[in-house]
Amino acid sequence: MADIGQLQERLGHRFGCPELLTEALTHRSVLHENSAARSGAPKPVVDNQRLEFFGDAVLQLALTEVVFARFPRADEGHLTKLRARLANRHMLFHLAHQLALGDYLILGKGEETSGGRQRPSNLADAFESVVGALYLDGGYEVTRRFLLSLYADQLDRLESADSGDNPKGELQELLQVMSSKNPIYRVVNETGPDHNKRFEIVVEFEGRELGRGAGSSKKEAEMRAAETALATLNAAPPSVEPPAADESLPQI
């Protein structure tokens, strides 16, 4: 594992209780392997799942506060969408990668050998856990300053984007977190006479179908497909990945 002091520098906080940060970085596979040990008393280990739960709430509060302040004319529905774009699992994976959290994860041997150090779900979970640990050790203001700094570019993009309902733009912005490639919209079905056409369109990204939609115009069908893709991506893990031995991940 990399030097934990470097991570504390990235977080902008020196932990008074470094055990909290260690807990935030400990994957449940460590606990599972210790519990399964056949000889001797297993060493007690606390994994990061409780801190992940706590950190999620802290993150939601901080992001709610910032979008509420930066978008004074936005209604509740739009504020909810803005917050979701900042807190979805893809974004958390991106931010964890930016902090190089994978270098600091404490993993069981099986998880280590199966690529767990770069597994997107592990990194997204660890990011929330670290936020929770930062709050418990340094308080809300320390955590808030860290998040504002880390999210600075993302917040600027939100403010410069069209404030109207633009699911295609939102989808492209979300996917740009992971890749420079653009989504592809493709007509898969066209029915009805020329004066009353009905189109069905799928949106694909890197060879995968993310969503589909229908409408009386290609533009409407593309918007519906983008809305479906956004709903799927915001509810799913950051990417399709091979599950660890002790977990099963839904496929997008």
Tokens of 31: 């606990």
> What are the start-end ranges of the E strands in the chain?
184-191, 198-205, 208-215
CA-CA distances (angstroms) from residue 176 to 128, 179, 230?
21, 5, 13
Output 37 or 92, whichever has higher pLDDT: 92
Start-end ranges of CATH 3.30.160.20 in the chain? Answer: 167-240
> Rounded to whole angstroms, how far apart are CA atoms 144 and 146?
5
Identify the CATH assignment for 167-240 out of 2.40.30.10, 3.40.50.2000, 3.30.160.20, 1.10.10.10: 3.30.160.20
Burial track 88-99 (b if 16+ CB lie within 10 A, e otherwise) = bbbbbbbbbbeb
CB 233 within 8 A of CB 88: yes
Greater confidence, 163 or 63?
A: 63
Q: Name the maximum alpha-carbon separation found in the chain.
A: 78
- Here the tokens at position 165 are 């309902």
Q: Name the CATH superfamily, with its identifier, for domain 1-164.
A: Ribonuclease III domain (1.10.1520.10)
* Reported pTM: 0.70
Residue 243 has pLDDT above 60, yes or no: no
DSSP string, 120-145: HHHHHHHHHHHHHHHHHHH-HHHHHH
> Where do the CATH 1.10.1520.10 domains begin and end in the chain?
1-164
- Which residues are known to be catalytic? 56, 128
How many CA atoms lie less than 13 Å away from 92 in the CB half-sphere? 31
Spatial CA neighbour of 230 closest among 48, 126, 81? 81
- Find the mean pLDDT for residues 12-29: 95
Pairing of strands 184-191, 208-215: unpaired
Give 137-167 pLDDT, tens digit per residue: 999 999 999 999 999 988 887 776 544 568 8
